[in-house]
């Protein structure tokens, strides 16, 4: 049995500059940190032959991954060719989904790390982030950026730079104890009870990149 977790994040500045419509023309930069809240996945073989069991808000049982309704798990299993042997995947999180803390990408990072471990392949933090980004952006065609996958995979307080060649530079932000304590003492996060679909928000944001390019450029330069 494999148990894997990925942290949620708070993004301070630079959101939107991680969209391909921007960083393919000008380096995007984000300052973000992970927090002590997580998405968890449990992955294990099933005792039933050719049965794929997925447990989240509901339970799915399928004979083939292509029959699963859970889009991320379906796409990941098919992409990795995990189709002949049954597998059970269960997920849960410390906070509700769609709360604005990057939980979808944290799930994807945990999923790709976990599935690679399941098939006996060790991957780095960078590879896990790239695999999650590929799953969401290339396979599922979601109109999102890369910051959430990389911050969830690397963890900690980081500056991320998104380059036109699709590479991402991850640089830790070092604060002395007093500055870190002051920052933590002045941060409050509340769950308002309101959830939203990040993909629809980012699709609109991505469409506005050409119009708002100079604003994004100034924001990136300020990081």
pLDDT of 115-166, one tens digit each?
Answer: 999 999 999 999 999 999 999 999 999 999 999 999 999 999 999 999 999 9
Q: Evaluate whether 153 touches 126 at the Cβ level (below 8 Å).
A: yes
Domains of the chain: total: 1
Q: What is the CATH number of the domain that holds 20?
A: 3.30.230.10
Q: What is the pLDDT of residue 199?
A: 67
Query: What is residue 172's DSSP assignment?
Result: E
Q: Evaluate whether 56 touches 39 at the Cβ level (below 8 Å).
A: no
Q: Which helix (H) or strand (E) holds 10?
A: strand 2-13
Percent of the chain at pLDDT exceeding 70: 98
Can you give the residue range of the structural domain that contains 176? Answer: 2-221
Q: What is the pLDDT of residue 191?
A: 83
The mean pLDDT value for 163-175 works out to 96
Lowest mean pLDDT among 17-21, 44-48, 133-137, 201-205: 201-205
Q: Evaluate whether 114 touches 122 at the Cβ level (below 8 Å).
A: no
Model confidence pLDDT, tens digit, residues 70-80? 999 999 999 99
């Amino acid at each position: 049995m494999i148990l894997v977790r990925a942290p949620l994040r708070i993004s301070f500045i630079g959101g939107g500059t991680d969209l391909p419509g921007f960083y393919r023309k000008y380096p995007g930069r984000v300052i973000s940190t992970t927090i002590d809240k997580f998405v968890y996945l449990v992955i294990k073989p099933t005792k039933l032959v050719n049965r794929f069991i997925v447990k989240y808000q509901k339970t799915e049982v399928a004979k083939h991954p292509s029959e699963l309704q859970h889009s991320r798990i379906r796409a990941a299993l098919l992409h990795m060719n995990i189709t002949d042997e049954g597998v059970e995947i269960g997920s849960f999180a410390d906070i509700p989904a769609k709360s604005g803390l990057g939980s979808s990408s944290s799930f994807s990072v945990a999923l790709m790390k976990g599935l690679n471990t399941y098939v006996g392949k060790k991957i780095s933090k960078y590879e896990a982030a790239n695999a999650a980004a590929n799953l969401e952006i290339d396979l599922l065609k979601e109109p999102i950026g890369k910051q959430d996958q990389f911050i969830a995979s690397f963890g900690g307080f980081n500056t991320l730079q998104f380059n036109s060649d699709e590479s991402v530079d991850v640089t830790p932000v070092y604060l002395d104890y007093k500055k870190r304590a002051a920052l933590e003492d002045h941060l409050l996060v509340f769950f308002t009870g309101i959830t939203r679909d990040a993909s629809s928000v980012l699709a609109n944001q991505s469409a506005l990149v050409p119009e708002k390019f100079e604003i994004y450029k100034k924001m990136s330069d300020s990081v």
